[in-house]
Amino acid sequence: MLKFYQKVIILGLSLLLAWAGWKGLNALFYQGTASALNQSGEGIRMKKINKSLEDWKKELSPEQFRVLFQKGTETAFTGKYNDFWEEGVYLCAACGTPLFRSEDKYDHGTGWPSFKESFSEANLEYHDDLSLGRHRIEVRCAVCGGHLGHLFYDGPAPGGKHFCINSAAMNFKPAEEARKELPQVATFAAGCFWGVEYKFSQLTGVLDTVVGYSGGKTVNPTYRQVLSGKTGHAESVQVLFDPRVISYEQLVRKFFELHDPTQYNRQGPDYGPNYRSAIFYHDQQQKKIAEQVKAELQQSGRYQKKIVTEISPFRSFYRAEDYHQKYYQKKLGPICSNE
């Protein structure tokens, strides 16, 4: 008969094997889930910061270093930004990259700052995290690689996103300062997003571009789902730009130049609501500019038909799969029908 301590050892080994098996299954089933959200390394214009851990340790507080570069998690309900509601922009505490806006912050009740949308998808990267024996999507700063928190899909409608972020990973810049110093974001849909992204990326003052899906109701859709026309999403391009170099109005005018805004739910042979013409404005000033340019072009006589471009408030943006990002740089030539 086995003695008590032998039973304990056997039980411990059984639990350890079960844990290892569970992690193995998670790794098998979720392999590449987060990487599909990331941009390809080809053609990315965002400058990376490469510093040693010793350098970061000297620059950051012990808690910031633990969270950002040792993947630590602060205790729930203790972070300085958990119950903080001033207007402005949250930046990476390590490198200062804009991460989230105050208007996208909400109380999820978990004890950590929660956001329903990012400042720009170009500023984030995602990684599969199996550290707790279950699959989670880790969120990192795309510039310095610092650990920020995790992305879940139990957030508020319509986007469903829940960025659960450590306060220690962020600093805050008040709204007035942010408007003067930080880049801005624009979101457009003009048919096949491969060519649209490429054309915007070539403009002086554009810092980065990301293709994805916007304007619909389906949470975190795949390309195949969007292609069906049933998600409500349009193939879209998110443009991160420096307003001191290129204005939003210039981007809007370029948007109208690079496609036919009189075609309803199509561009050339590409047919369906996912190929519609749309401007998703991020604030009232963008709305005003988009409407003014659209009206001006309609009255100019440049187009014989009515401009059908949709001008709607930005709700959410889901980054497209990796193989769609910077597609022209990979394929080295025109492919879309709206060329």
pLDDT in tens, 30-73: 445 555 555 544 444 556 888 999 999 999 999 999 999 999 99
**Which pLDDT does position 219 carry in this prediction?**
94
Q: Do 121 and 194 fall within a single domain?
A: no
Q: Are residues 289 and 207 in the same domain?
A: yes
CA atoms of 263 and 230, how far apart (whole Å): 19
- Consecutive 10-residue runs of the chain (339 residues): their mean pLDDT? 56 53 47 52 61 96 98 97 97 98 96 97 94 90 97 93 98 94 96 93 96 95 95 97 97 97 92 96 97 97 94 96 85 57
Task: Examine the domain organization and report whether 84 and 165 are in the same domain.
Answer: yes
Instruction: Please report whether residue 29 resides in a domain.
Output: no
164 a catalytic residue: yes
Q: Could you give the CA distance from residue 143 to residue 92 in angstroms, rounded to a whole number?
A: 9
**108 and 229 together in one domain:** no
Q: What is the pTM of this model?
A: 0.80
336 tagged catalytic? no
Say whether both 126 and 48 belong to one domain. Answer: yes
Diameter over CA atoms, the chain: 95
Tell me which residue has tokens 């879940």: 152
The verdict on 216 and 313 lying in the same domain is yes
Task: Assess whether 170 and 221 both reside in one domain.
Answer: no
Per-residue pLDDT reduced to its tens digit, 133-182: 789 999 999 999 999 999 999 999 889 999 999 999 999 999 999 988 99
Domain of residue 235: give its range. Answer: 183-331
Number of domains in the chain: 2
Residues 222 and 95 in one domain: no
In the chain, alpha helices (H): 4-29, 53-59, 62-69, 175-181, 193-201, 223-227, 248-257, 284-299, 327-331
Cα(36)–Cα(127) distance, integer angstroms? 9
3-state helix, strand, coil in the chain (%, to 5): 35, 25, 45
From 95, 141, 164, 336, active-site residue: 164
| 66: its two tokens | 């633990």
Q: Which of 95, 144, 192, 336 is flagged as catalytic?
A: 192
CA distance 143 to 125: 9
From CA 97, how far away is CA 95, in angstroms rounded?
Answer: 6
Question: Quick one: which H or E segment has residue 303?
Answer: none
Residue at 121 is within a domain: yes
The CATH number of residue 144's host domain is: 2.170.150.20
Report the relative pairing of strands 88-92 and 170-174 from DSSP bridges: antiparallel
Q: Which of 177, 198, 232 is the last residue of a domain?
A: 177
CATH number of the domain encompassing residue 194: 3.30.1060.10
**How many CA atoms does the CB half-sphere of 51 hold within 13 Å?**
18
What DSSP letter does each residue of 164-178 carry, written as one string?
EE-GGGEEEEEHHHH
Are 168 and 44 members of one domain? yes
pLDDT of 196 reads 94
